[in-house]
Amino acid sequence: MRVAGSAEKDAAGVLRCWGATLKVLMSYELSKAYDPSVIEERWAEYWVRERLFDVASPSADTEGTQGAAKKFTQLLPPPNVTGRLHMGHMLNQTEMDILTRWHRMLGHGCG
């Protein structure tokens, strides 16, 4: 009897599970724990070199004039009164972050 989740790899690198055959596409095993140091430094250098963290701030002479850049504003939801967080909170924060970053890339003032 086979246990759910059991699989065997044959000599050709083919994964067999419950009679189904799957071709293994990866040539190496993934580590059990994520190690950000493997890729983090390379990407951080790229982001700094490409000036991806730079944000143009509005100048003082355009504040309040017709020529000022568009501004993007979001209303934050009320605080969680129950004290119990759930996936909806994470999704909401992620959507707000994505929208803010998108509008910053469009050149809108966000802040």
Of residues 14 and 70, more confidently modeled: 70
Tokens linked to 101: 């970053």
Q: What is the pLDDT of residues 42-59, one digit of tens each?
A: 999 998 999 887 776 656
C-alpha–C-alpha distance, residues 86 and 69, integer Å: 36
User: Residue 48 belongs to what H/E stretch?
Assistant: helix 40-49
Which residue reads 């190690």 in tokens?
Answer: 35
3-state secondary structure of 36: helix
- Tell me what the mean pLDDT of segment 12-19 comes to: 57
C-alpha–C-alpha distance, residues 71 and 103, integer Å: 9
Task: Please say whether the beta carbons of 92 and 77 come within 8 A.
Answer: yes
Confidence band, pLDDT 50/70/90 cuts, at residue 106:
confident
pTM confidence score: 0.43
C-alpha–C-alpha distance, residues 50 and 41, integer Å: 14
Side chain identity at 94, as an amino acid letter?
Answer: T
